[in-house]
């Protein structure tokens, strides 16, 4: 009878079946004879996906002198819930009952402390592990390393790592992830190189670390090496790789990941789907992003928000607003991030009235008090629309102090509409906030130059030299057959630089035939006209475009990504050498080439 019931419990798949089996065990009197049966009942109710922790607690309360296994089962179950503090309470009951914890007691306890970021309690648990001579076991030590690294005590984690006699791949991965998490990619890479054994988690941790540090090109290099080593990527790996592709505009590699998901029958989870949407949108393929969005079986708020953002950055503001309406109809409640993207959609499409209505209704309709980011969107929307006085008044009446992004949005409007007086007012605030930001001085200099005030523009440049302030160098990247190439302003390091410059000269000749005249008013003032044209010709994005045109077949889109702000340009040639023409599609409305 007992053997048959054990077999039934192994096949149990839901709580209804479990309760039926438990009733049978109780009526036959086996519940008090075979403690293993009760252990299986408790384990299923506490830890299975279809379990019931409340029911498990009731079972536990009917136990006479429960052993450490039953306590451990409940500790583990509570550590996985939204109330992990109950795990610590149960451990107190263990001590009061005079029981001795084992190596399975401490890992879920430390997991609970990690979730709670309860450093002092975690330290006490560490002390308990030492007291019972269990801290040296690798299973416990790995949990301690993870706990200290997550709670921001990486040096303590490293001390444990270095002192442990028995290390496994989990130990190495925990320490590697700790360094990657705090942005110490040098130490992370050093540990990775020293690892006696690596698995997909090791590679994923390093790739994620590079992406987090903004080193997307290096992240893709690590992913390439991972493929050479024939290590199968997991979902976490692919999410990081897609993030790197989105940052670099590496569409082909992003498409490869999408194809890999399909060919390997991997489920399009909400995380992978959202990452694909972001990658396609940032690489200029918003229609493919929409296809992925429509294919997703489950869409959470992040997926909807990402798709709204994708439409917004392509200037498809009305579609973004329609999608936002569909989201609300689907019962998804927006948060402050969603509303930022909706306001950005209004900005990119110039929908000033709609933007005003959404901003004014935030508190009334959604119970969300506007944050500085929402004010930033509104200032940007008004400044782009030429309503500089309204934008200035909004900045003045904000309930919080405006930051550099707020003033920068207003400054951009001053530049576009050549409002020198307001620009002088704005720049004073910007310099107070970011005294070493060379871009602020350059913007004011450009506004003076564009307004014909050459002497004032020159004085601003001289002030930059006096203060030792330099403008951050702009760079542009382009993906050619899966490899990302980067260009900096005036860059001559590319081995094909002569061909690149010849190609750009060819483009300029055709542009001039079409009546295009380069705007030289914002180029450095102390160089002659010929040098001004050369300086303009060596902008990083122009070098990248020319490189793309000599490297990619006719009719294929060329995608250029800027580093100083997200700006994606797509260029296509018609392939007719006799009358070659180019179409430039600007994906970001503040992008200039």
Percent of the chain with pLDDT over 70: 80
Sheet with 582-586: strands ordered across: 483-488, 475-480, 558-562, 568-573, 582-586
Residues 153 and 93 both lie in one domain: yes
Domain end call among 167, 182, 203: 167
pLDDT at 567 (0 to 100): 46
* Between residues 271 and 505, the one the model is more confident about: 271
Does residue 328 or residue 501 have the better pLDDT? 328
Residue indicated by tokens 């307004």: 451
**How much of the chain, in percent, has pLDDT values that exceed 90?**
48
Report how far apart, in Å, the C-alpha atoms of 192 and of each of 62, 169, 195, 298, 342 are.
Answer: 49, 11, 5, 35, 41
Q: Is 508 within a domain? A: yes
Helix/strand/coil for 486: strand
Is the pLDDT at 315 greater than 80? The verdict is yes
Residue 535 CB neighbours (<10 A): 16
Whether 485 and 522 map to the same domain: the answer is yes
End residue of a domain, out of 149, 167, 185: 167
Question: Is residue 494 situated within a structural domain?
Answer: yes
pLDDT in tens, 328-364: 999 999 999 999 999 999 998 889 999 999 999 999 9
- Could you tell me the pLDDT band of residue 443, with boundaries at 50, 70 and 90? confident
- Confidence at 123, pLDDT banded by 50, 70, 90: very high
Q: What angle do CA 540, 485, 504 make, to 5 degrees?
A: 45
282 pLDDT higher than 60: yes
How far apart, in whole angstroms, are the C-alpha atoms of residue 209 and residue 181? 6
Specify whether 14 is located in the same domain as 117. no
Give the three-class secondary structure for 328.
Answer: helix
Domain end point (choices 111, 140, 167): 167
**Highest mean predicted confidence (pLDDT) among 77-86, 340-349, 546-555:** 340-349
Query: 74 and 41, same structural domain?
Result: no
Q: What is the pLDDT of residues 150-180, one digit of tens each?
A: 998 999 999 999 998 889 999 999 999 999 9
pLDDT at residue 577, as a whole number: 37
Q: Stretch 227-244: mean pLDDT, rounded?
A: 94
Residue 470's pLDDT is 64
Query: Distance (Å, rounded) from C-alpha 551 to C-alpha 353?
Result: 45
Q: How many domains does the chain have?
A: 3
Could you tell me if 20 and 92 lie in one domain? no
Query: Are residues 19 and 97 located together in one domain of the fold?
Result: no
Same domain as 569, residue 488: yes
The whole-number pLDDT of residue 581 equals: 42
Give a yes or no: residue 470 inside a domain: no
Looking at the fold, whether 486 and 579 belong to one and the same domain comes out as yes
Query: 30 and 73: one domain?
Result: no
Does residue 287 surpass a pLDDT of 90?
yes
In a domain, 466, yes or no: no
Arithmetic mean of pLDDT, 434-439: 70
Task: Please determine, for residue 21, whether its predicted confidence score (pLDDT) is greater than 80.
Answer: no
* pLDDT (tens digit per residue) in 405-417: 898 889 888 888 8
Count CB-CB contacts under 10 A for residue 329. Answer: 8
The answer as to whether 35 is a domain residue is yes
Please compute the mean of the pLDDT values over residues 389-397 and round it to a whole number. 94
Q: How far is CA 528 from CA 416, 519, 521, 524, 538, in A?
A: 25, 14, 12, 9, 16
Calpha distance 405→372 (Å, rounded): 9
Q: Band of the pLDDT at 126, cuts 50, 70, 90?
A: very high
Q: Which domain holds residue 28?
A: 1-49
Lowest mean pLDDT across 78-87, 97-106, 271-280, 427-436? 427-436
Q: Clarify whether residues 496 and 553 are in a common domain.
A: yes
- Residue 442 belongs to a domain: no
In the predicted model, is pLDDT for residue 525 greater than 70? no
Say whether both 17 and 91 belong to one domain: no
Residue 188 maps to a domain: no
pLDDT exceeds 80 at position 283: yes
Per-residue pLDDT, averaged over 455-480, amounts to 73
188 or 422: which carries more pLDDT confidence?
Answer: 188
One domain for residues 41 and 144? no
Around 322, how many Cα atoms within 13 Å sit in the side-chain half-sphere? 5
Instruction: Give the model's pLDDT for residue 35.
Output: 59
The answer to whether residues 237 and 203 touch, using CB atoms and an 8 Å cutoff, is: yes
* Best-predicted range by mean pLDDT (264-268, 291-295, 537-541): 291-295
Stronger pLDDT, 545 or 516, i.e. the higher one? 545
Classify residue 535: in a domain, yes or no. Answer: yes
pLDDT of amino acid 541: 78
pTM score, whole prediction: 0.75
Q: Which two tokens stand for residue 63?
A: 């136990």
Q: Residue 198: what pLDDT? A: 94
């Amino acid at each position: 009878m007992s053997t048959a019931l054990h077999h039934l419990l192994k096949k149990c798949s839901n709580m209804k079946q479990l309760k039926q089996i438990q009733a049978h065990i109780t009526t036959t009197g086996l519940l008090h004879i075979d403690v293993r049966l009760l252990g299986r009942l408790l384990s299923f109710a506490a830890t299975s996906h279809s379990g019931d922790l409340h029911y498990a607690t009731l079972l536990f309360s009917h136990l006479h002198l429960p052993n450490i296994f039953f306590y451990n089962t409940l500790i583990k179950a509570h550590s996985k819930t939204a109330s992990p503090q109950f795990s610590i309470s149960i451990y107190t009951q263990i001590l009061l009952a005079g029981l001795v914890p084992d190596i399975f007691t401490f890992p879920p306890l430390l997991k609970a402390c990690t979730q709670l970021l309860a450093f002092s309690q975690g330290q006490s648990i560490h002390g308990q592990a030492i007291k019972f001579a269990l801290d040296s076991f690798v299973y416990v030590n790995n949990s301690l390393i993870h706990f200290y690294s997550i709670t921001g005590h990486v040096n303590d984690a490293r001390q444990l790592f270095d002192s442990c006699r028995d290390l496994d791949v989990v130990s190495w991965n925990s320490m590697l992830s700790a360094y990657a998490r705090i942005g110490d990619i040098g130490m992370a890479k050093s540990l990775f190189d020293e690892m006696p054994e690596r698995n997909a988690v090791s590679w994923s941790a390093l790739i994620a670390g590079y992406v987090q540090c903004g080193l997307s090109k290096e992240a893709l290099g690590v992913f390439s090496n991972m493929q050479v080593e024939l290590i199968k990527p997991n979902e976490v790996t692919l999410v990081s790789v897609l993030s790197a592709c989105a940052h670099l505009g590496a569409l082909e590699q992003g498409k490869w990941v999408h194809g890999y998901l399909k060919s390997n029958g991997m489920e399009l989870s909400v995380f992978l789907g959202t990452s694909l949407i972001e990658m396609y949108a940032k690489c200029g393929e918003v229609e493919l992003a929409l296809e992925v969005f429509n294919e997703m079986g489950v869409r959470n708020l992040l997926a909807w928000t990402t798709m709204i953002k994708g439409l917004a950055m392509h200037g498809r503001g009305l579609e973004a607003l329609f999608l936002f309406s569909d989201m609300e109809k689907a019962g998804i409640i927006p948060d402050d991030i969603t509303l930022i993207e909706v306001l950005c959609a209004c900005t990119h499409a110039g929908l000033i009235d709609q933007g005003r209505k959404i901003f004014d209704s935030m508190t009334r309709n959604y119970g969300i008090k506007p944050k500085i980011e929402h004010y930033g969107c509104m200032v940007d929307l008004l400044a782009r629309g030429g309503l500089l006085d309204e934008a200035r008044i909004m900045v003045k009446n904000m309930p919080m102090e405006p930051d550099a992004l707020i003033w920068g949005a207003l400054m951009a409007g001053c530049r576009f509409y050549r409002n020198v007086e307001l620009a002088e007012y704005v720049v004073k605030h910007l310099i107070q906030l970011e005294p070493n930001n060379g871009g602020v001085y350059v913007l004011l200099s450009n506004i003076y130059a564009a307004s014909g005030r050459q002497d004032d523009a020159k004085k601003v440049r001289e002030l930059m030299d006096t203060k030792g302030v330099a403008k951050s160098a702009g760079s542009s990247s382009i993906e050619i057959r899966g490899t990302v190439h980067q260009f900096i302003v005036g860059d001559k390091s590319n081995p094909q630089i002569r061909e690149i410059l010849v190609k750009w000269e060819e483009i300029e000749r055709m542009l001039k035939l079409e009546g295009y005249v380069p705007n030289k008013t914002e180029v450095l003032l102390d160089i002659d006209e010929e040098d001004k044209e050369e300086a303009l010709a060596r902008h990083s994005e122009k070098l990248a475009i020319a490189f793309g045109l000599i490297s990619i077949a006719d009719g294929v889109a060329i995608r250029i990504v800027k580093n100083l702000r997200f700006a994606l340009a797509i260029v296509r040639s018609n392939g007719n050498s006799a009358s070659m023409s180019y179409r430039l599609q600007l994906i970001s409305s503040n992008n200039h080439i």
